[in-house]
Amino acid sequence: MLENNQTTAMRESLSALMDDEASEMELLRVLKAVEQQPELRQRWASYQMIAASMRGEVPVAPYVDLSSSISAALEDEPVHALVVAEKTWLHRVGRMAIAASVAGAVIVTGQLSGFGLGDVGSDGASVLAASGAPAVSGAVPSGALPAGFRAPDLAARTVSSHKSMPAAEGRTLVKRAPSAPVNRRPSPEVQAYLQQVMQLHADNASVNTGRGVLSYARVPAVKVQPPESSK
């Protein structure tokens, strides 16, 4: 019963937030609750989707959950390395800006979804070896995804080697050093490369999943064809 009341109160806070009527306390409470309750997070996403569709703004990828990014940005603390992957992109944005934009932040297009991006060079300067131990992720989500992509649910494990997959000899997981400068600009190269591999994979899927040319429906339609050559 108590739980039900709490849930109802939380839903009220959520809808107040949707209507731009939430206090700062309510905002923090919602963000905290959303972190712990996937059900509430999904509800929030649904509300956002409805509101967006009523404004005629339904993007290609309506469900991009950035709520924990927002929480992380608000916490204003160093983020633990194991969960850093999905949480840092808003870090430098001011509190006010976050609070103001929070109601609209759950829905963004693929342009903002969390795909790690970094100039990992082959010089080793920004490369950490992680053989043996479970690797931590220093991926910095920013950059761009092909239209229609979204970052997977944040509950998923972040980029790291699987615990049950011991790092094999001779193979080293390359990670960005936390101190390395961060490239936050969207990268057309990553976008173009993903688009390219998607398209090539669709060739594979079209002959190898028993659904023929229907598989090409999965390749996002983009205005600009990816460049043929890589730098």
- Return the residue of 83, 99, 174, 184 that touches other proteins, per CB under 8 A: 174
Touching other proteins, residues 20-59 (CB under 8 A): 39, 42-43, 45-47, 49-51, 54, 58-59
Touching other proteins, residues 97-116 (CB under 8 A): 110, 113-116
Residue placing its CB nearer to other proteins in the complex, 71 or 126: 126
Residue placing its CB nearer to other proteins in the complex, 95 or 156: 156
Concatenating the DSSP letter of every residue in 28-70 gives: HHHHHHHHH-HHHHHHHHHHHHHHHHHTT---SS-----HHHH
Q: Cβ 101 to other proteins, closest distance in Å?
A: 17
User: Under the criterion CB under 8 A, does residue 88 sit at the interface with other proteins?
Assistant: no
Residue placing its CB nearer to other proteins in the complex, 95 or 216: 216
- Return the residue of 2, 125, 171, 179 that touches other proteins, per CB under 8 A: 171
Q: Cβ 35 to other proteins, closest distance in Å?
A: 17
- Return the residue of 72, 143, 154, 180 that touches other proteins, per CB under 8 A: 143
Contact 106, 153 (CB under 8 A): no
User: Under the criterion CB under 8 A, does residue 91 sit at the interface with other proteins?
Assistant: no
User: Under the criterion CB under 8 A, does residue 184 sit at the interface with other proteins?
Assistant: no
d(CA 183, CA 89): 10
User: Under the criterion CB under 8 A, does residue 168 sit at the interface with other proteins?
Assistant: yes
User: Which helix (H) or strand (E) is 141 found in, with range?
Assistant: strand 141-142
- Return the residue of 97, 100, 129, 177 that touches other proteins, per CB under 8 A: 129
Among candidate residues 68, 81, 83, 80, the one with its CA nearest the CA of residue 36: 68
Size of the site for other proteins (CB under 8 A): 96
For the chain, what's the residue count? 231
Question: What's the chain's Rg over C-alpha atoms?
Answer: 20
Stretches 28-36, 75-83, 93-101, 208-216: which one binds other proteins (CB under 8 A)?
Answer: 208-216
User: Under the criterion CB under 8 A, does residue 155 sit at the interface with other proteins?
Assistant: no
- Nearest 5°: CA angle at 78, between 75 and 81? 120
Tokens of 5: 């009341």
Looking at beta carbons, which pairs linking 17-23 to residues 24 or more positions away fall under 8 Å?
17/102, 17/103, 18/47, 18/48, 18/51, 18/103, 20/103
